[in-house]
Amino acid sequence: MLEVNNLQAWYGRTQALFDVSFQLEAGRCLALIGTNGAGKTTTIRAILGLVLTAGKISIAGRDVSSLPTHSRVRETGISVVHEGRGMFQRMSVRENILVGLASSLHRRLDDALDQFPALSGRLTEKVSQLSGGQQQMVALARAVAQRPRLLLLDEPSLGLAPAIVDEIYAHLARLRDTGLTILLVEQSVPRASAFADELCLIRTGHSVTRIATENKVEVDQLVSLAFGN
């Protein structure tokens, strides 16, 4: 579904990614892990075409490396939940879920509410009146309404209390179990390894290694390699 080969990325003259390569098969979840500043968010931005890149990015067998962001999103079915959620605070829950969609709005809203029924009674409320966890649900509901084939999730647990993170991950597990392909960025290795099929360690802009999460010994070795403990 997603193939990234020798990806490099720049912010102006500053190179942030040097050599990131991985594959993500359809229906699987791969988590990018690594320390602050390693290049995880930049990898998500590069897949979306939001930073200057070199290397190859293929989605569903198609080379999208030279496509603009809107074509990548529209033509290949990528949805993204950005770090910090990207909510429109003055807009309602309903407007945030449906933003950018032009047709079949009722059905799209139903899709989102099937996954997040707790939002049904809050559709007309302004997002600014919601808690961080509820806003994260709106962000996920918006991604679901886009009927993605590939979901990019950048630190969905950031800034949330552990009990709320459990709730968010329970929702995410239901989405994953529908067969959605997910690329996750997650600081917490225990969370990432409980949720994803595979982990890919990013270090100073390089993808260092990729392992299956079912192998607990390798996960422990990866944690030592990544965080030195």
Q: How far apart are CA 122 and CA 190, in angstroms?
A: 32
Distance CA(129)–CA(127), nearest Å, equals 5
Q: Which stretch binds ligand ATP (CB under 6 A): 39-47, 61-69, 114-122, 131-139?
A: 39-47
Alpha carbon separation from 40 to 1, 33, 151 (Å, rounded): 19, 7, 15
Tokens (6 digits) for 55: 């290397």
Which residues, in sequence order, are bridge partners of residue 211?
Answer: 199
Q: How near is the Cβ of 159 to ligand ATP at its closest, in Å?
A: 12
Residue of the chain from 13, 36, 106, 178 that contacts ligand ATP (CB under 6 A) = 36
Q: How far is the CB of 153 from ligand ATP (least distance, A)?
A: 13
Residues 181-210 that bind ligand ATP (CB under 6 A): 187
Angle, CA 168 vertex, CA 162 and CA 171 arms, to 5°: 145
157 touches ligand ATP by CB under 6 A: no
CB-wise, 154 or 198, nearer to ligand ATP? 154
Q: How far is the CB of 16 from ligand ATP (least distance, A)?
A: 3
Q: How far is CA 29 from the centre of its chain?
A: 10
Task: Select the residue interacting with ligand ATP from 2, 4, 7, 16 (CB under 6 A).
Answer: 16
Q: Examine residue 148 and tell whether it contacts ligand ATP (CB under 6 A).
A: no
Taking CB under 6 A as the criterion, the residue among 1, 29, 33, 38 binding ligand ATP is 38
Residue 79 touching ligand ATP (CB under 6 A): no
> Which stretch, 32-40, 53-61, 110-118, 136-144, contacts ligand ATP (CB under 6 A)?
32-40
Structure tokens at 200: 């890919």
Distance in Å, CB of 9 to ligand ATP, minimum: 8
Tokens 């930049």 belong to 42
CA atoms of 135 and 202, how far apart (whole Å):
28
Q: What angle do CA 115, 179, 98 make, to 5 degrees?
A: 40
Taking CB under 6 A as the criterion, the residue among 42, 79, 96, 157 binding ligand ATP is 42
Tokens 């950048």 -> residue: 154
Count of residues touching ligand ATP (by CB under 6 A):
12
How many Cα atoms occupy the beta-carbon half-sphere of 30 within 13 Å?
Answer: 23
Which residues of this protein are in contact with ligand ATP, per CB under 6 A? Answer: 11, 14, 16, 34, 36-42, 187
